[in-house]
Amino acid sequence: MNPITHLLEIDRLQTVFWNGREEVAAIEDVSFSLRAGETIGIVGESGCGKSVTSLSIMRLLGQNGRIRRGEIRFNSRNLVAESEKELRSLRGKEIAMIFQEPMTSLNPVLTIGHQLVEMIRCHTSLSRREAKAYAMEMLKKVGLPQAKDLMSVYPHTLSGGMRQRIMIAMALSCKPRLLIADEPTTALDVTIQAQILELMKSLRKESGAAIMLITHDLGVVAEMADRVVVMYAGQIVEEADVFTLFREPKHPYTQGLMASIPRVQGENERLRAIPGTVPSIRKMPKGCRFHTRCEWAAERCRQEQPQLESVGGEHQVRCWIVQEQASPLPVSANFQHQEAGV
């Protein structure tokens, strides 16, 4: 039997939602893999499909969402075919998720201590007393020293940053094999953000966990990720290891993201922006989905949709112009790898 080389494999995934009149695809043709101990960064504008991809993995799409096509294999198990009972045994223990909005993830009528202890006891053999002590230890690890007092309070009495850290403590407490972190440090100040990132690194080092990091912060990606997936309008438009992507972004959209990062040099320099807006999932443009905002778009880009193709090693790009010429497109701004913190 061949050894399992990837902990997570997503193959040609398409997730759709019913809007009352028809099903619309939120993500389409999404494929990537993740090895144990590896961190992959998922980046892109709001609405590009990052969070839907993570919710598809967890099978938490709600009544209106479903996976129409593709496979999600976790440790050789196809999660698309798993029953809800089987998935409940995986969620929290094998696969944990830090959700983007902690207020909607924590139960408002249960204390923080109750929620932490019940989650720990559900997935471990610890007694209630041991689970309570472990819960307070985890709260301290995420920068909440008043852990004993926090155990008896309700979520609505806490700030957004404190609720976010509680969600992080909950996700890390069972030492999952796969941690999905959806904007885990958005509501946190820089000191706590650094502490949380170090905690995630420790989890990866100690248990060999894989991390799927969804974020808008390219600095966090540069610090944490081994590989980066760039998403646009529900599709992956570029994938590469973190060094290659920051040194030589090839897709025009990736170049636009890089160019929009504020730089310390040149206080009078204007911030660059990507023109136009992301298309609606109800009415995607024909051809390449980025062609309406791309300065290099050709007639083929407007008529035919490109596939994600290798342009050297594991570097993949979904762009006709890049695939048809030997040299990459000229970078829109002189963005250097070091400026992102790599």
- Encode pLDDT of 59-105 as tens digits: 999 899 999 999 999 998 999 999 998 998 888 889 999 887 766 77
Sheet holding 8-18, edge to edge: 23-34, 8-18, 65-74, 77-78
Asked whether residue 239 falls in the same domain as residue 209, the answer is: no
- Whether 46 maps to a domain, the answer reads yes
Same domain, residue pair 99 and 246:
no
In a domain, 91, yes or no: yes
**Are residues 111 and 257 located together in one domain of the fold?**
no
Tell me phi and psi for residue 309, to 5 degrees: -125, 150
Residue 106 belongs to a domain? yes
26-35, 171-180, 310-319, 333-342: segment of lowest average pLDDT: 333-342
Stretch 179-197: mean pLDDT: 82
Same domain, 185 and 334: no
Task: Say if residue 151 is in the same domain as residue 32.
Answer: yes
Q: Is 237 found in the same domain as 196?
A: no
Amino acid letter for position 47: G
Is 177 in the same domain as 252?
Answer: no
Average pLDDT, the chain: 87
Q: What's the average model confidence in pLDDT over 236-253? A: 94
Residue 210: per-residue pLDDT: 93
Q: Are residues 176 and 286 in the same domain?
A: no
In a shared domain, residues 72 and 169 = yes
CATH number for the domain spanning 115: value is 3.40.50.300
Which residue segment(s) compose the domain that 94 sits in? 8-225
Same domain, 203 and 282: no
Report the percentage of the chain scoring pLDDT > 90: 51
The count of structural domains within the chain is: 2
Q: Are 28 and 234 in contact (CB under 8 A)?
A: yes
Angle, vertex CA 72, rays to CA 68 and CA 54, nearest 5: 85
18 and 150 housed in the same domain = yes
**Helix, strand, coil % over all residues of the chain, rounded to 5:** 35, 20, 45
Residue 204 domain-assigned?
yes
Indicate if 126 and 19 belong to the same structural domain. Answer: yes
19: CB partners within 8 A, 6+ apart: 64, 282
pLDDT score at 115: 93
Domain presence at residue 290: yes
Is 2 part of any domain? no
Structural domain includes residue 119: yes
Q: Is residue 207 part of a domain?
A: yes
pTM of this structure: 0.88
Q: What are phi and psi of 114, to 5 degrees?
A: -60, -45
